[in-house]
Structure 1
């Protein structure tokens, strides 16, 4: 069931504002008119009843002139009186005014009783009371006074000129203000739309409403990021196509050599297996990069226990460690955590650990160290390899800048994962006594300013 507080279905903002504001304005005006009208009618009714009672007291119960003793001009409202016996027979006054039919209900005290009657088919507002007969004090007579009912509603004739005049002018003026405001708002929104449609969105040149400026700035940022991402993907796909085309061409040449019998099978098959492994490694790295983009766009980060993720990565690569008879060490606080994503962090550790295993000589040492100090958390993957060449450092994290035996995507993906988790990544040689004894890959989270 739809909630009464649920906003209406989205449509034209201009139409909504016009209907909402003008509808509310005219509803308010209608309420004001109704209040004034009801108040005016009540006032007229009270004035008429008071006038009837006043005139009733001036009528001679013996049938004298109704205006006897009245000073001033004759009132403009027509009036009628009648003096009747208790049985309704006319004593004096207007014969056309019907006699009061409920004489038994009139109080002996002479208090007036209001009612509605007829005179020649016209509705009249009348008042009746008992009075003593001037000629016979022991006898009671019924004195009536009446005015046309239309006198109670004469406000209808005065309303257009007196009430609706100024309210109508005010309403038209306010309506013009509302319409002009909505029109101006529509022009501002049109400027915003044109700014968004511009090929090169410049927030500095935006001259629309200030409330929309944050949205425009956000859209500008999204446009820039989208263009950068599209450009990065274009370059990446071009490089990936080139990198995948190379092992496929090599594998085709090897197959042709094997079919032609130019090279013995015992020699060509290991070469083909190496080419397939290289292409497979490339495909896996491309899939990892695609998965990274999905996780980055989702933006859901949480506190991850570093030891648990590191242990999973070590168990997965344990056969490679055993194959090279490496001495491995996993050190650090079991409860140390950092902001990240378990899948992303696991991918980062597997890449760094596989790279360390590859460059560590047989029987060498490597490990993972987790440590925290001040407002910083570090995850270090270290090895006992020969170290980094100075010529390799500038392109260490560039995609497809492969070292010997690699495909050139692992470290690039690692840095992207670290940045997506709000961390930084550095790789440097570990030096002891002026001699390079290995490489440290450091992922660092800064927890403070």
Structure 2
């Protein structure tokens, strides 16, 4: 069972830098102080062990010589036999319990013992008895164990005072640096908020210059897009108002009985069809904007998309008894979006069907050559007047009763897929025999 993860909370860059840098500085200072404390402890422990060994005297010294030396020192000492019997020194110091483990060479044995219930650091060694049968005796010396932990006496508070002073100075440097960084970021924010920005005057962080330039470019494109949509909506509302006004007039005439129903109803049906076409084209433009913003293009099979569009418009082709042909490599592909390309083909085919005379011919050709892929919709229409060509792809510039959006949408779809679209008159022996609508991808799939 997977436990739910808690989403990370957003925080300011300034707070993050302060916590990270000051926390890191504190960790470094604490590490230095801890190292000094550990080093002090080790030095004190080594010094104490060295003193104890020195107080034991030379390994060849006799017990009497050891006792005389101990009397001159402040350390606790005890001299006894191997069985633990006391001979001289401090009776409160416990006897060495592991006499059989002491080296016969007289090397000292360092250990922790007790004196009157208090822990002590002790050293023990074998020595010769000064008088008598030359027996070996056990000599012990000790100091309070607490002496090896008195680090504060070995490293005075002045050292830690210096550490604190250095930490305060570094903290001031960090806070100042973060404050300067915050001011630079504030300059970048003001630059992004400015409606017009000359990048030559930008004085924020150089690392943010590409992001600022990119955001300014997006702002410009957004303003252009909003202005374009505003103009489009104004034109669309004007174009839709016309068929609605015509339909209203026709309804009033039908209600008043000024025109026979058999005459006015077909007119009303034509007006409704024109308004429906307009609404469908506007919806197509809305769909196109959504797909363009998604920006997900992939290689698609042109033949399959063309076949779907032809099957959808087959009733219109059959109604005019047109001879249709779909030619080209079925495996040919290009970068695009199947929905967008289908919308483009339906518009071009509907336009070709409308302009092709009854029992005429039209078709689609798919071809590739020299790294170029082309999709051609051809018909046997009357051709395009040269006077109309400059505004052929402008929105709401219809001729012969059209709504004026089809070719404009087709070109926008082609450009959104990285292709181009043009309309050519097909000429034979100096006469126009039809029209070719060519969608061209300059690079192959």
Structure-2-length-normalised TM-score: 0.89
What per-residue deviation string (whole Å, max 9, x for no partner) do you get for residues 101-125 of structure 1? 5264562613333334456776532
Question: 1:61 corresponds to which residue?
Answer: 63
Seen in structure 2, the aligned counterparts of structure 1 residues 137 and 16 have a Cα distance that, compared at 3 Å, is: farther
Question: 1:184 corresponds to which residue?
Answer: 180
Seen in structure 2, the aligned counterparts of structure 1 residues 310 and 88 have a Cα distance that, compared at 3 Å, is: closer
Deviates more, 1:211-220 or 1:393-402: 211-220
Question: 1:50 corresponds to which residue?
Answer: 50
Q: Which of 187, 201, 205 pairs up with 1:205? A: 201
Seen in structure 2, the aligned counterparts of structure 1 residues 7 and 288 have a Cα distance that, compared at 3 Å, is: closer
Distance 1:213 1:157 in 2: 57
User: How many positions carry a matched residue from both structures?
Assistant: 439
Deviates more, 1:22-31 or 1:400-409: 22-31
Question: 2:16 corresponds to which residue?
Answer: 16
Deviates more, 1:193-202 or 1:80-89: 80-89
Question: 1:372 corresponds to which residue?
Answer: 368
The answer to whether the 8 Å contact 2:70/2:77 transfers is no
Seen in structure 2, the aligned counterparts of structure 1 residues 99 and 137 have a Cα distance that, compared at 3 Å, is: farther
CA displacement at 1:442 relative to structure 2: 0.9
Q: Secondary structure at the match of 1:426?
A: strand
Distance 2:247 2:94 in 1: 124
Question: 2:394 corresponds to which residue?
Answer: 398
Distance 2:98 2:308 in 1: 107
Question: 2:128 corresponds to which residue?
Answer: 132
CA displacement at 1:12 relative to structure 2: 2.4
Deviates more, 1:160-169 or 1:380-389: 160-169
Distance 1:103 1:356 in 2: 113
Seen in structure 2, the aligned counterparts of structure 1 residues 88 and 237 have a Cα distance that, compared at 3 Å, is: same
CA displacement at 1:431 relative to structure 2: 1.9
CA displacement at 1:20 relative to structure 2: 2.0
- Structure 1, unmatched stretches of 5+, are 69-73
Seen in structure 2, the aligned counterparts of structure 1 residues 302 and 422 have a Cα distance that, compared at 3 Å, is: same
Question: 2:415 corresponds to which residue?
Answer: 419
Deviates more, 1:197-206 or 1:14-23: 197-206
CA displacement at 1:260 relative to structure 2: 0.7
Seen in structure 2, the aligned counterparts of structure 1 residues 43 and 176 have a Cα distance that, compared at 3 Å, is: same
Deviates more, 1:412-421 or 1:45-54: 45-54
Q: Secondary structure at the match of 1:16?
A: helix
Distance 1:183 1:251 in 2: 68
CA displacement at 1:46 relative to structure 2: 2.1
Q: How do residues 78-89 of structure 1 correspond to structure 2 at under 5 angstroms?
A: 78-85=74-81
Distance 1:300 1:418 in 2: 14
Q: Which of 316, 335, 355 pairs up with 2:331? A: 335
Deviates more, 1:260-269 or 1:121-130: 121-130
- Structure 2, unmatched stretches of 5+, are none
Distance 1:137 1:299 in 2: 106
Distance 1:2 1:210 in 2: 42
CA displacement at 1:140 relative to structure 2: 3.6
What per-residue deviation string (whole Å, max 9, x for no partner) do you get for residues 232-290 of structure 1? 11111111111111101100100101111111111111111110110111111111111
Q: Which of 324, 348, 355 pairs up with 2:344? A: 348
Seen in structure 2, the aligned counterparts of structure 1 residues 229 and 108 have a Cα distance that, compared at 3 Å, is: closer
Question: 1:321 corresponds to which residue?
Answer: 317
The answer to whether the 8 Å contact 1:84/1:92 transfers is yes
Distance 1:339 1:284 in 2: 25
Cα RMSD after superposing both structures: 2.8
Q: How do residues 84-103 of structure 1 correspond to structure 2 at under 5 angstroms?
A: 84-85=80-81, 91-93=87-89, 95=90, 98-100=93-95, 102=97
Question: 2:300 corresponds to which residue?
Answer: 304
Q: Secondary structure at the match of 2:408?
A: helix
Distance 1:7 1:256 in 2: 63
Q: Secondary structure at the match of 1:218?
A: helix
Question: 1:431 corresponds to which residue?
Answer: 427
Question: 2:235 corresponds to which residue?
Answer: 239
What per-residue deviation string (whole Å, max 9, x for no partner) do you get for residues 363-388 of structure 1? 22222111111011111111111111
Distance 1:209 1:7 in 2: 30
Q: Secondary structure at the match of 2:432?
A: strand
Distance 1:207 1:108 in 2: 79
The answer to whether the 8 Å contact 1:125/1:147 transfers is yes
Distance 1:119 1:99 in 2: 6
Q: How do residues 210-225 of structure 1 correspond to structure 2 at under 5 angstroms?
A: 210-225=206-221
Distance 1:184 1:128 in 2: 65
The answer to whether the 8 Å contact 1:128/1:143 transfers is yes
